[in-house]
């Protein structure tokens, strides 16, 4: 079956996904969770082949160690995945939720309600544990799915796909979950703007940018994660060190890791900088290019630089206004945090920093669908439309207007037979 035929088959499965109802979709998700545990031996055996091949490829210099490291599945990872899918199954029904409800005129009831987007194309690299989580989020939202994984995880993805598809029956059609296997088909898939409604890339910035430039299908995702922590003059210094350490060192490759530390000048004047920077022990530090002498650090390549590693830029700012201006000018509007005990300063920061996630006294690392209580995420969006920040099931829904009348016409509103009331309903 060609990639196009696979996408068409996914599209054809949409009405059945809706008709299955809450009960059918929830039952299928719970069976998917069970199957990951019951069939773990098959899954781990296939994964072991991928891992062995990756080790050989790495030894031959054909695969990066970062990609290889993400391949590995384990019994405990599968159990965590299964729990995550059960949590997504246990959510309140996301489809058909009323977003707005209005009496348009006497006998005319209008509601705006959530509905599935349609067919999603998710392109992901390496990490095979993404597949079950993405499948669960999409099916919970009633969306059909075309998945394209990395070649290095092909055996793991194939068995995970088979296990999950087997678990769909009898409630959901097997066609709702398509796995595309060869690399050549990505370009073909990106051309299918008449069949696919949304592309979600999960992977490197380079992957996201390449996809955005090569398709007319809307793309949900982020290309940059230049996150800031601003340590204000009124910050509790212990809290600041703890948050800065976590924001940079907990997982430096994550998009929600801190790339730039902004320090209030008064803290520097008061001699607090060395103590604050001790929080970044083991992190390679660079200075704002205009502050290399003052900070005694080499210049950062740019103020809009994502290290994605144990490295960070340090910049001194005069006050909260300067911190806000720096973030608006140089940030990527992903996640930016202030550490301060001063509520007025925090309010100003929260009001004026226009990022997808704005945090006060918390690590940027909390910008994550699971941590936000969304049950998981398909990614973090820095686009301004549709969904922003961590995207869970809600971001995989769209809306539609349902109007129930009793024979009204627009002509009758002109003759006075029908009068608009526009009364909000519960």
Ranges within 226-245 binding a second copy (CB under 8 A): 236, 239, 242-243, 245
Site string for a second copy, 187-226 (x = CB under 8 A): ----------xx-------------x---x-x-x------
DSSP at 73: -
Question: What is the edge-to-edge ordering of all strands in the sheet holding 119-124?
Answer: 177-180, 144-148, 119-124, 198-202
CA 37, CA 85: separation in Å to the nearest integer? 12
Q: Which of 61, 282, 407, 416 is in the footprint of a second copy by CB under 8 A?
A: 407
Chain centroid to CA 7: 23
Residue 290 burial (CB count, 10 A): 11
Site string for a second copy, 293-332 (x = CB under 8 A): ----------------------------------------
Say whether 104 sits in a helix, a strand or coil: strand
Contact 396, 80 (CB under 8 A): no
Please give the structure tokens belonging to residue 25.
């979709």
CB closer to a second copy, 19 vs 62: 19
Q: Which of 145, 233, 357, 378 is in the footprint of a second copy by CB under 8 A?
A: 357
Q: How far is the CB of 227 from a second copy (least distance, A)?
A: 13
Q: Which of 88, 280, 363, 391 is in the footprint of a second copy by CB under 8 A?
A: 363
Contacts of 26 (CB under 8 A, 6+ apart): 89, 90
Positions in 3-22 near a second copy (CB under 8 A)? 14-15, 18-19
Please give the structure tokens belonging to residue 207.
């992957």
Q: Which of 201, 331, 355, 393 is in the footprint of a second copy by CB under 8 A?
A: 355
Q: Which of 358, 378, 391, 393 is in the footprint of a second copy by CB under 8 A?
A: 358
Please give the structure tokens belonging to residue 125.
């690299």
Q: Which of 20, 44, 367, 416 is in the footprint of a second copy by CB under 8 A?
A: 367
CB closer to a second copy, 111 vs 181: 111
Q: How far is the CB of 106 from a second copy (least distance, A)?
A: 13
CB closer to a second copy, 278 vs 406: 406
Phi, psi of 112 (to 5 degrees): -105, 120
Residue 333 burial (CB count, 10 A): 22
Please confirm whether the linkage preceding 294 is cis (ω < 30° from 0).
Answer: no
Question: Does position 282 bind a second copy by CB under 8 A?
Answer: no
Please give the structure tokens belonging to residue 209.
């940018």
CB closer to a second copy, 117 vs 131: 117
Q: How far is the CB of 109 from a second copy (least distance, A)?
A: 9
How many Cα neighbours within 13 Å face the side chain of 406? Answer: 9
CA 70, CA 79: separation in Å to the nearest integer? 17
CB closer to a second copy, 65 vs 411: 411
Q: Which stretch binds a second copy (CB under 8 A): 63-71, 73-81, 169-177, 407-415?
A: 407-415
Residues forming beta bridges with residue 380, ordered by sequence position: 390
Q: How far is the CB of 129 from a second copy (least distance, A)?
A: 18
Q: How far is the CB of 139 from a second copy (least distance, A)?
A: 17
CB closer to a second copy, 93 vs 236: 236
Positions in 378-397 near a second copy (CB under 8 A)? 383-390, 394
Phi, psi of 119 (to 5 degrees): -110, 125
């Amino acid at each position: 079956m060609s990639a196009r035929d696979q996408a068409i088959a996914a599209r054809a499965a949409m009405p059945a996904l809706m008709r299955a109802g809450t009960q059918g979709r929830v039952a299928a998700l719970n069976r998917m969770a069970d199957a990951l545990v019951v069939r773990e031996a098959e899954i781990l055996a296939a994964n072991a082949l991928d891992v062995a091949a990756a080790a050989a490829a790495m030894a031959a210099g054909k695969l990066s160690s970062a990609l290889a490291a993400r391949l590995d599945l384990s019994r405990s990872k599968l159990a965590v995945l299964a729990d995550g899918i059960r949590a997504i199954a246990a959510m309140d029904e996301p489809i058909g939720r009323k977003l707005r409800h209005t009496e348009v005129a006497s006998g005319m009831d209008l509601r705006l309600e959530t509905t599935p987007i349609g067919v999603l194309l998710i392109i992901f690299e390496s990490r095979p544990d993404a597949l079950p989580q993405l499948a669960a989020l999409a099916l919970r939202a009633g969306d059909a799915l075309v998945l394209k994984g990395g070649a290095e995880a092909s055996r793991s993805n194939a068995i995970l796909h088979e296990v999950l598809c087997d678990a769909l029956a009898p409630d959901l059609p097997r066609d709702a979950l398509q796995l595309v296997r060869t690399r050549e088909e990505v370009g073909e898939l990106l051309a299918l703007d008449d069949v696919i409604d949304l592309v979600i890339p999960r992977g490197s910035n380079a992957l996201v940018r390449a996809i955005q430039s090569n398709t007319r299908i809307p793309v949900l995702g982020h290309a940059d994660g230049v996150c800031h922590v601003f340590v204000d003059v009124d910050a509790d210094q212990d809290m600041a060190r703890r948050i800065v350490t976590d924001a940079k060192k907990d997982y430096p490759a994550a998009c929600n890791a801190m790339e730039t530390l902004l320090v209030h000048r008064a803290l520097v004047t008061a001699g607090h900088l060395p103590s604050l920077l001790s929080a970044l022990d083991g992190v390679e530090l660079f200075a704002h290019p205009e502050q290399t002498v003052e900070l005694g650090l080499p210049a950062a390549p740019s103020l809009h630089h994502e290290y994605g590693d144990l490295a960070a830029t340090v910049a001194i700012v005069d006050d909260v206004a300067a911190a806000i201006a720096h973030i608006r000018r140089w940030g990527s509007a992903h996640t930016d945090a202030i550490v301060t005990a001063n509520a007025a300063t925090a309010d100003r920061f929260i009001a004026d920093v226009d990022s997808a996630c704005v945090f006060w006294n918390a690590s940027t690392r909390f910008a994550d669908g699971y941590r936000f209580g969304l049950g998981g995420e398909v990614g973090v969006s820095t686009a301004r439309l549709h969904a922003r920040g961590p995207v869970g099931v809600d971001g995989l829904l769209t809306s539609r207007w349902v109007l129930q009348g009793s024979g009204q016409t627009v002509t009758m509103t002109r003759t006075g037979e029908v009068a608009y009331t526009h009364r909000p309903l519960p």
